[in-house]
Chains A and B, each alone.
Chain A
Amino acid sequence: MTRSRRAVTTVIALILTAIMLFPLYWMINVSLTPPHLLRKDPPNLVPIDATFAGYDKVIHEQLPYLGTSLIIGLGTVALTLVVAAPAGFALAKLFPRGGSTLNFVLLVAQMIPGIIMAMGFYLVFNEWGLLDTIPGLIIADSTLAVPFGVLIFTAFMMGIPNELIQAARIDGANAWRTFRSVVIPVSRNSVVTVALFAFLWSWSDFLFASSLNRGGDLQPVTIGIFRYLGNNTQDWNAIMATAVVASVPAAFLLVFAQRYVAAGVTAGAVKD
């Protein structure tokens, strides 16, 4: 392409991106619009008289929800890594009999609609006393990430040279030590990828939160937003401010961990 044509292409790309991201702009715009201007027709395209009242409300009313989401997210990351990393190592390097069956089961598991899991968990948690609790939500949310995690770890660990593992063996390390001191350190990238996605999916979960934690004291931020939506007053300024804050992890991921994101999307190609 000539230089000018490339410039034209960039301009077209900018316009397409602007159209695609317009809803995000609109979210920010509304989050800064004072409530009395929200019903104005036509709406203001830029926040005139910008107000931070919505964000003020977030700080006063949504902090507990955000904190709960954070704790559940971190718990989901921990549980997912503990379950998925050893499994990935075994499937990639230890040649277990029945390994391909397990792979198949994991592929099928990630296709199960969440509503079905929610219903089953509801009954099981009812018996175990895990309804309306944070551990309950951590378990439920981790089912979104564990099959994906095993897949990523297996794919990545297959790429670790066998010589590296044999060298550790010759130095007298048993399988567990090899896993802990050789395999995990060189798999740092896949650990980051799995952790990021586990956190993001748990943070975004609404289905499990709304079915398994209907009356708990500690509810995640998706429920916080949904509460606002359910109010008859529907204060869209505050709703959008909460939405902006709830989007922070996604923005963070995109800015600081973009290569992990692309790897995650293509590697397992999973998400619900």
Chain B
Amino acid sequence: MTMSATRTPASADRPRDGEGAAPAVPSPGERRRAARRQQLVAWLFLTPVTLYLVLFYALPLWRNVDLSLRDYTLRSFITGGAEFVGLDNYREIFTDPTFPTALWNTVLFTGLSLVFQYSIGLALAVFFFRRFPLAATLRALFLVPWLLPLLVSSSVWAWMLNSDSGVVNSFLQTLGLDPVFWLTSPDWSLVSVIITNIWIGIPFNLVLLYAGLQAIPGEVYEAAALDGAGRWSIFWHITFPLLRPVSAITLLLGLVYTLKVFDIIWVMTRGGPGDSSTTLAIWSYRLGFGGGSPELSLAAAVANVLILIAFVFGLFYIRAQRKALRS
């Protein structure tokens, strides 16, 4: 958005099929030939990405669907063959007691992360929008958590939340509170990973919402101020409604990304204790790669359920983005 806003008013999504043929060519026949030539050249430039999408997106995705419909065992690795079992794997995961837990944890993890990331991000965006010394530098520093490898941030939080030696419990104790078994109690493990995920997601929300605030013309505020509106009512009646398209994009993108969070939970709790912090992504990974005998077919079935959910919200996101670009 920044780049296209400063450099070009055009959007990346505008349909432009057949819209700008080569510069004027005399006869219709020649023109047609030139147009065909241009199409050929265009698709030559698109060949690498097309091949790439087929080989490294479509093929693995297809193999994943295929895998979920077969009974793939360790022996299948060597022989290559696996029995076709139809929807058996799906039946098995839907009746597994872990399924409702993992689904509910996914909803909680995603929902709570989004609510807090967004509201804290928005509050910070509005705060940093005021002009004060060091504002730009400090805003940039807020980006750091987002740039760190997830494995790094999750390890740091795991140690900070350590029940015996963690700095968080030590702080709670100085306040006279009881220590919390953050990562080892089934009541707190999900909360712990959610807190960590919120911390990681705040910068992303801050940056997008800040860009949204910048896009609101200053005259709107001036007019409101002339009408004697207070700061709070300006926020509720002007800023917030005008920010709606950006908010929708931020939240939906956040949702799609939160659905796939894996590293944080795997490093901090491995989905445990029990299934208390197991989401669909974690469950799928644990089935396939978590040690013990790999249940790749079941893992693929869980993953396909996850992708369906992601797709539904992904389509909402694309619609919101189109709408925002049109307005």
Contact = CB atoms under 8 A, between A and B. Distances in A.
A251 B57 CA distance: 31
A15 to B, nearest CB: 10
A116 B142 contact: no
Contacts, number: 324
Interface in A253-272: 253-254, 258, 261-263, 265-267, 269-272
Given A113-B260, A226-B151, A87 B156 contact: no
A101 B8 CA distance: 22
B130 A119 contact: no
A114 interface: yes
Interface in A97-113: 97-100, 102-109, 111-113
Given A151-B12, A266-B1, A254 B144 contact: yes
B190 interface: no
Contacts of B152: 27, 204, 225, 243, 246-247
A113 B45 contact: no
B268 to A, nearest CB: 10
DSSP majority for the A interface?
helix
Contact of B16 (A30, A99, A143, A151): A99
Interface residues of A, number: 112
B160 interface: yes
Contact of A271 (B135, B164, B204): B204
B155 A225 contact: yes
Interface string A79-110: 00011101101110011111110111111110
Given A17-B142, A116-B61, A156-B7, A86 B160 contact: no
Interface stretch (B107-115, B235-243, B305-313): B305-313
Given A94-B45, A102-B46, A112 B77 contact: no
Given A109-B57, A113-B259, A236-B159, A269 B42 contact: no
Name the residue among A1, A17, A94, A115 with the largest chain B CB count within 10 angstroms. Answer: A115
A51 interface: no
B165 interface: yes
A30 B162 CA distance: 13
Contact of B311 (A26, A108, A142, A239): A108
Name the residue among A13, A175, A189 with the largest chain B CB count within 10 angstroms. Answer: A13
A240 interface: yes
B165 A266 contact: no
Contact of B208 (A94, A105, A265): A265
A101 to B, nearest CB: 9
Contacts of A270: 253
A39 to B, nearest CB: 5
B122 interface: no
A43 B67 contact: no
B281 A115 contact: yes
Interface string A172-188: 00010001000000000
A2 to B, nearest CB: 11
Contact of A200 (B64, B147, B173): B147
Contacts of B53: 105-106, 109
B141 interface: yes
B151 A222 contact: yes
Interface in A132-172: 139, 142-143, 146, 150-152, 154-156, 158-159, 166
B143 to A, nearest CB: 6
Contacts of A207: 262-263, 285
Interface string B153-191: 101111110001101001001100000000000000000
Name the residue among B2, B202, B310, B314 with the largest chain A CB count within 10 angstroms. Answer: B2
A171 B96 CA distance: 68
Interface size class of B (residues with CB under 8 A): 35 or more
A6 B204 CA distance: 26
A83 B149 contact: no
Interface in A195-224: 200, 203-204, 206-207, 210-211, 214, 222
B234 interface: no
B49 A84 contact: yes
Interface string B301-322: 0011011001100100110000
A30 B159 CA distance: 9
B102 interface: no
B300 A263 contact: no
Contacts of B15: 99-100
Interface of A: 1, 6-7, 9-10, 12-14, 16-17, 20-21, 23-24, 26-27, 30, 38-43, 82-84, 86-87, 89-91, 94-100, 102-109, 111-124, 126-127, 139, 142-143, 146, 150-152, 154-156, 158-159, 166, 175, 179, 189-190, 200, 203-204, 206-207, 210-211, 214, 222, 225-226, 229, 236, 239-240, 243, 246-247, 250-251, 253-254, 258, 261-263, 265-267, 269-272
Given A99-B42, A123-B67, A258-B140, 12 more contacts: A1-B131, A10-B135, A13-B134, A90-B42, A104-B318, A112-B57, A115-B303, A116-B303, A116-B306, A261-B143, A267-B4, A269-B208
22 contacts: A20-B145, A20-B202, A41-B165, A42-B174, A83-B48, A95-B42, A103-B12, A104-B318, A107-B318, A111-B314, A116-B60, A116-B61, A139-B56, A152-B3, A159-B3, A211-B288, A239-B155, A240-B156, A250-B147, A253-B147, A254-B141, A266-B211
